Amino acid sequence: MTGLDEFDSALPDPIDLIEQIASARGWSFDRRGDGDAAVEIVGGWTDYRLFFSWLDDLCALHFACGFELRSAPGRRAAVNDLLARVNEKLAVGHFDLWSDEGLLVFRQTILFRGIACASVAQFEDLFEIAVSECERFYPAFHHVVWGGKDAAEAVSAAMIDTAGEA
């Protein structure tokens, strides 16, 4: 590290910007402490909880988008197979299983070192990508967790593009 590293800490608090975006969109926002926040968004399949943690030592924002679909311990192997197959389809972020709670989440970390500030466009992209990927793969997760389907069948069904809504 050089003596110039002190200038990287000048980044305005990204949690403040997330709060402003959430407020403008009428989303429920909860600041959980210094550098932590949660937002709730209504989706087509389920409600999504977006969690943000500022990692000051890395100058990074950790983001997780969780939804209420918990994996039963007996389905963990099938869910892990599904996670591997789904993650191969993603260009940004990844799905993960928080093993303690059995909670499925979409996760991503944004590095900000060397950037003057976060932008509204960055966070809008983050929200849009996370929710659209959760919406796209929610049926696959549901088929594996509760329907007993195998991962290959569930991903194939999720990748079918549909026209309109039923």
pLDDT at 1: 45
Q: What is the pLDDT of residues 4-53, one digit of tens each?
A: 444 444 557 889 999 999 999 999 999 988 889 999 999 999 999 999 99
Banded model confidence at residue 3, pLDDT cuts 50, 70, 90 = very low
**Domains defined along the chain, listed by start:** 3-72+93-134 (3.30.1460.70)
Report the C-alpha gap between 96 and 102 in whole angstroms.
10
Report the C-alpha gap between 32 and 105 in whole angstroms.
19
User: What is the dihedral sign for C-alpha 147, 75, 70, 89?
Assistant: negative
Q: Phi and psi dihedrals of 133, rounded to 5?
A: -70, -40
Q: What is the pLDDT of residues 66-94, one digit of tens each?
A: 988 877 778 888 889 999 999 999 999 99
Among residues 69, 57, 62, 47, which one has the least CA distance to residue 94?
A: 62
Percent of the chain with pLDDT over 90: 50
The residue to which tokens 């980044």 are assigned: 11
How many residues are there in the chain? 166
Percent of the chain with pLDDT over 70: 89
E strands in 11-157: 28-33, 36-42, 47-55, 60-70, 94-98, 103-111
Angle at 23 between CA 18 and CA 24, to 5 degrees: 100
